[in-house]
Structure 1
Amino acid sequence: MSLLLAAIAADAVAGGAVLTWPGAPPCNTTLHACIAAAVAGDTVEIATDGPIDETIEIFGKSLTLRAAEGFEPVFEPTNGTDAIEAFGADAQVTILIDGLTVRGGTIGAYQAGTGAFDIAIRGNRIESTGLDANRSAIYLRTFGASPTGPVQFEVTDNDIALGFLSGDDICAIALDDLPGPSSGSIARNRVRDGGEMSTYPAMRIHNATGTLALDVVANAITASGYNGGIELVQDDVAGSVATRILNNLVVGGSDVMGPQPGAVSLRATAGGVLALVANNTLAHNDTGFIAKASPGATLEGALANNIVAFNAIRGIVIDSGIAAAFDNAHNLAWSNAGDAFEPGPGTLASDPLFVGAGDYHLRPATPARDTGDDQYVPEDIEQDLDGSARIIGPAVDIGAFERPDSLFADGFEAP
């Protein structure tokens, strides 16, 4: 959580009122009425498991909406799929949505004003066997404000399990064109299950005219049927993106349709992208990693310390037009149907030796152990996908998981 979000959350608990629903007036009727009666800085705790058949809007005021201790609230709206929506305004607004379950619906946030909008969506569970087409389980986007105020966001620790029909435009997490300056993280989310076929990837980040700083860290995408895993598109000359995509696991992505699906896909049609893609495991997809830029756009950065293996159509694709500005080093590329890049220093062509049966941890004899390059590990990223230390031993391991060193009783290292 950002320092600002943490401060507001602390104020809501220490200074603002804590309202419990269902409870005493004004929280003795609907949850909607309870939220409407809350004032800025209040916390609304839900003290029922539900199911709750309401659609909720939090419009233009700072509020925490969370599960009360000992409860696991479940929203099952029958009137529409937008279960919980949060809106920014012309004044500063901070909203936290924490620890809720939504079945057959979505959680969304809109920047609807010129004021700063801080939004945290964390620790929630979204499950559905058939969202409407062109829906995202969790989404952030603009809502017609001009000019648009800055957005600071955190989408963290959510569990998303969707079942979609063939051809639906469905994704798990979407960030769509925030015109104002925006920054935040999509971290530690789990995307699983999936459906027959979606034309959207599991995570879709689309930027046009805004300035976006984004971390995509320690997410596990193991769902089938999505049109790729993590997709980032920059498509307006006025916009730019700086992103770090680190310690993610992406498996099961399909190449459903163009222009360039992949477990991690970077595309700049206009404007500029600066990206560090490091210590990810991209395996058993149709395409592993792909990066391209249109004439006049820029795509710079590095692909380093990644395992890209067992991908059915393409492994690593780095467009020749950006190769000089996009480093690749210390990646392990193995048993992909095809690669299109010039291997950089430290590239390995060896079986990564996954544990197997859907377990992408590394066996003791893995060639990925201690063969990464520490310069591509940011100082503030101290943990791997499991939450273990990111660097154990003389150098970082390649891939999303660090292999723990172990010692025999005589003090010698285990193989």
Structure 2
Amino acid sequence: MTHTIRTLRAAGPSLMLLALAGAAQGAVLTAGPGGTYATVQDALDAAVALPGDDEVRVRFGVFPENLFVDLDGSGDLIEMSGGWDATFTSASDARTTVIDGGGLGKVFEIQTEGSDRFVLHGMELANGEDTLRAGVAVFARDTSSVELYNLTIRDNLAIADRASSGGLYAVLIGSADLEVRDCDLLDNTVTSTGTVDGRGGGLTVELNNTSTARIIGNRIRDNVVTVAGSGAGLGAGADIIQFEAGSFFELTDNEFRGNRIDASGVTGTGLMLSGTNWVARRNRVANNIDDSANGFGSQAFFSTFAGTAVLSDTLVVDGNARGVQLNANSGATLRATNLTVAGHFTERGILAGTSGGGQLSVYNSISVNNGVNAQLDPTVTEGSNLFTNDSGLFIDPLIGDYRLAPGSAAIDAGDNTPPGGLGPIDLAGRTRIFGPAVDIGAYEADDVLFADGFEA
């Protein structure tokens, strides 16, 4: 059922509404004024008690509730969606349903196990407050799956001596699966009042065993981590960790912008990804801020300690401290290709190193207009990079346009067969290798477009 909705959704709103209307194989339960249930929690409880695959439709409006659902391993599917009209026959994609936690605990806790499936979309979840996992908390086990899309998760606060996970938190155990796509994680806050770490302002994902997760096409903005004492601040936008080599993580087509950390130690103001077998492609990381006195925390931190990790076609620009930090440890392999890193005027653009026999390569990448453009350990393999400042590389970096300018030295200057291969498309979604050779950096220039200086 989920696959059908996703396919029709891409075709247009009217088809999506038809898919939703006929989605449930079991009961359709309605919540809100005019619905069968006055509260969302009552509708969820009823869906859990019923056999089969059920759908919960929530009317537009504000619901002051703190929700909890445990699918108890029955193997059923519950799909919950918002934005429904007064007759519960059509829904809007505008996220007009708001679950308001009112500062009384986390907004929504979701627990799945066995072969349970839970799908949530079309609403806003806001104003939770807790010591940990203040917004939406997902606990998925066994072969269960959770799918979250078209959500806004905002203005949630985790505050404690050791606080973490302000917006969305997910822990996956066994072979559980998570997908988060087309969501906005905005203005969530983690405040640690003691002398310990604070982490995961917008998004936290922890993968164990053979679990899998895909974070695709989300906007993660203006989240904050603050640590009052001597602890570190980690991953204000996103904090992602894989604990075991059997798990797999994908991070694709996301934006991390305007996130901040104020702590004595800072890593990953935009995002921090540490794990085993992961792929990160076509992510934009910009304007994330280190508010500490030290001012050297990286906007993006990527590390691997087992298996093979791939980073490509990614933009890291305009931070007030370090750009991107890359580490390959304990015999693991990290392949970085087609990065654009610029505008870190007081710190290093790219800092890359290995330990314990790790293998790290940096190819087809631009790092310019930084305090030090690149610092690569001698153990790092590199090729076809541009690390020398050149005012003619980009269209207009002053307004954040880091596409390649006509005549840029990066055009057709890359290596078509770097270690780990090229990404299939560039940051703008265009095919890689437009011309005799791949371009250097996150964007592939359109040689026809710029052939005579005018658009065709």
TM-score category, normalised to shorter length: 0.7 to 0.9
Q: Secondary structure at the match of 2:38?
A: coil
Distance 1:360 1:166, change over 3 A: farther
Instruction: After TM superposition, give the deviation of residue 161 of structure 1 in Å.
Output: 1.4
1:65 maps to 80
The 1:251–1:364 alpha-carbon spacing in structure 2 relative to 1, beyond 3 Å, is same
Cα pair distance change 1:379/1:360, threshold 3 Å: same
Q: 1:196 to 1:152 in 2, by over 3 A?
A: closer
Deviates most, 211-220 or 120-129: 120-129
Q: Decide whether aligned partners of structure 1 residues 175 and 346 sit closer, same or farther in structure 2, where only a CA change above 3 A counts.
A: same
Provide the secondary structure at the position in 1 that maps to 2:260: coil
Normalised to the residue count of structure 1, the TM-score between the two structures is 0.81
Report percent identity of matched pairs. 18
* SS of alignment partner, residue 211 of structure 1: coil
Query: In the superposition, relative to structure 1, how do residues 252 and 37 fare at CA in structure 2: closer, same or farther (>3 Å)?
Result: same
1:157 aligned residue:
182
The answer as to 2:302 corresponding to 1:266 is: yes
1:175-190 pair list within 5 angstroms: 175-176=205-206, 178-190=207-219
Please say if 1:329 is aligned against 2:363: yes
Q: In 2, are the aligned partners of 1:20 and 1:44 still within 8 Å (CA)? A: yes
Residue 289 of structure 1 aligns to which amino acid in structure 2?
A: V
AA aligned opposite 2:31: W
What residue identity is the alignment partner of 1:310? G
Aligned counterpart in structure 1 of residue 37 of structure 2, from 28, 31, 35: 28
The amino acid of 2:60's aligned partner reads T
- Is the counterpart of residue 280 in structure 1 residue 321 in structure 2? no
Corresponding pairs, count:
389
1:380 to partner: Cα distance:
11
Superposition deviation, residue 162 in structure 1:
1.1
Specify which structure has the bigger relative contact order, considering alpha-carbon pairs within 8 angstroms and separated by 6 or more residues: 1
* Counterpart code for 2:107: A
2:195 match: none
In structure 1, which of residues 47, 65, 78 is the aligned counterpart of residue 59 of structure 2?
47
Residue in 2 that maps onto 1:237: none
1:371 Cα deviation from its structure 2 partner: 3.8
Report the equivalent of 1:128: 155
Report the Cα distance in structure 1 between the residues aligned to 2:168 and 2:23, rounded to whole angstroms.
25
RMSD of aligned alpha carbons: 3.5
Cross-structure match for 1:139:
169
Query: Which deviations, in whole Å up to 9, do the C-alpha atoms of 1:139-184 show, x marking residues without a partner?
Result: 1115xxxxx43111111111121154776544211112x3331112
Write out per-residue CA displacement over residues 114-146 of structure 1, whole angstroms, 9 at most, x where no aligned residue. Answer: x3111111111122174434223111115xxxx
Matched-pair contact (CA < 8 Å) for 2:394–2:403: yes
* C-alpha contact 2:416 2:438 (8 A) present in aligned 1: yes
Q: Point out the more displaced range, 302-311 or 127-136.
A: 127-136
Distance 2:205 2:308 in 1: 17
Contact 1:406-1:414 within 8 A present in 2 as well: no
Residues of 2 paired with 1:23 and 1:139: CA distance? Answer: 30
Question: Structure 1 residues 369 and 347, CA, compared in 2 at 3 Å: closer, same or farther?
Answer: same
Q: TM-score, normalised by structure 2?
A: 0.74
Report how far residue 392 of structure 1 moved.
Answer: 6.3
Q: CA deviation at 1:250?
A: 0.8
Aligned equivalents of 1:159, 1:402: Cα separation in 2: 27
Counterpart of 2:348 in structure 1: which amino acid?
Answer: R
Amino acid at match of 1:124: L
The residue aligned with 1:218 is: 253
Mapped contact 1:193–1:222 kept (Cα < 8 A) = yes
Query: In 2 relative to 1, CA 37–164 (structure 1 residues): closer, same or farther, beyond 3 Å?
Result: closer
Gaps of 5+ in 2: 10-18, 85-90, 129-134, 193-197, 228-232, 262-266
Identify if the C-alpha distance between structure 1 residues 203 and 117 changes in structure 2 by more than 3 Å, giving closer, same or farther.
same
TM-superposed deviation, 1:291: 2.5
Cα 1:74–1:243, aligned 2, differ >3 Å: closer, same or farther? same
Structure 1 stretch 300-309 or stretch 363-372: which is displaced more?
A: 363-372
In the TM superposition, residue 399 of structure 1 has moved relative to its aligned partner by 3.9
Is residue 315 from structure 1 mapped to residue 344 from structure 2 by the alignment? no
What displacement does 1:261 show? 4.8
**Is the 1:231–1:262 contact (alpha carbons within 8 Å) kept by the matching residues of 2?**
no
Query: Does 2:385 correspond to 1:347?
Result: yes
Does 2:223 align with 1:203? no
SS at match of 1:150: coil
| Alignment partners' CA distance in 1, 2:176 and 2:256 | 25
Does 324-333 or 394-403 show the bigger shift?
Answer: 394-403
Matched residues in 2 for 1:128 and 1:354: separation?
35
- The 3 A distance-change label for structure 1 pair 84 and 372 is farther
Q: 1:195 to 1:266 in 2, by over 3 A?
A: closer
| Inter-CA distance 3–262: structure 2 relative to 1 (3 Å threshold) | farther
The aligned residue for residue 15 of structure 2 is none
For 2:302, the aligned partner's letter is L
Alignment partner of 1:16: what SS?
A: coil
CA contact (8 A) 1:305 1:373 kept: no
Contact 1:75–1:103 (8 Å) recurs in 2: yes
CA distance in 1, matches of 2:260, 2:211: 30
